[in-house]
Amino acid sequence: MAKRWTEAELRFLKDNAQKMSVQALADVLSVRIDELEKKMEKLGLLGNLEAPAAKKAQTLKELSRHTENARKDFDRGVSALQKKKFDDAERNLTDLIQKYPDEKELVDRARVYLAICERQKKSALPAMTEPEEFYYAAVVEKNRGNVPEAIEHLKRAHKKNGNGRVDFLLACCYAQTGESEVSLQHLRKAIEEDQQHRILARHDRDFDPLRDTPEFQELLAS
């Protein structure tokens, strides 16, 4: 089934098409890569922009220090976001993106959190009303460790499941609260919506409490 794009998702795509990898965009938007590329082509977003030249580390010691510094900026940014210090979060995440463009995995993750930060700043005054707002709020609360509140946000986001992304995040949350049966129910629904969630679940540490159970292993092996 073709994805139904929301206005919020299209805005996110246009804002980040030349900043994030196609794989990272597909993960955030819960869409298959081929479908995402078709949408980007239709919107004229597949232009090749030359990435800024990164300063390459010359030795293993330099490489290690380079990665460590990028990680520190990332951790500071996420910590500030969790504390709702949005200006500090934006500064650290932007510094990471600008100073360490070759740390691709961290940069892609930083862009996701930066988008969440910007969304949270915009929605700080008005009350949340859209499912997408509740979904992104749930992502923030889960990363703070506030899983029960994340679940409440996701219940309000569920009417726009986004190819199973809400069910997948609910499955992650319920696995962390020890409600294994409910977690498996949501994971099953997420996989039915998009088979990519089976692959994601194999590597997501949130499912560690269920990883050795026959039900979880059977679901991932289907």
Domain boundaries, the chain: 7-42, 60-122, 131-221
Other residues' Cβ atoms within 10 Å of the Cβ of residue 212 = 8
φ, ψ (nearest 5 deg) of residue 71: -65, -40
Angle (deg, nearest 10), helices 104-122 and 60-82: 20
CATH fit for domain 131-221, picks 3.40.920.10, 3.40.50.300, 1.10.3470.10, 1.25.40.10:
1.25.40.10
**179 falls in which pLDDT band (50, 70, 90)?**
very high
Return the C-alpha torsion angle 113, 2, 34, 183, nearest 10.
50
Span 48-75, pLDDT tens digits: 444 444 444 446 566 677 788 888 888 8
Helix 214-221 to helix 196-203 angle (10° resolution) is 140
How many other C-beta atoms can be found within 10 angstroms of the C-beta atom of residue 65?
A: 12
pLDDT at position 113, please? 87
pLDDT value, residue 51:
41
Q: How far apart are CA 204 and CA 206, in angstroms?
A: 5
DSSP 128: P
> DSSP letter string over 40-74?
HHHTT----PPPPPP----SHHHHHHHHHHHHHHH
Give residue 88's pLDDT. Answer: 87
The pLDDT value given to residue 22? 76
Which range (119-128, 164-173, 196-205) has the least confidence?
Answer: 119-128
pLDDT exceeds 90 at position 187 = yes
pLDDT digits (tens, 9 = 90+) for 20-50: 777 777 777 777 877 888 888 888 887 544 4
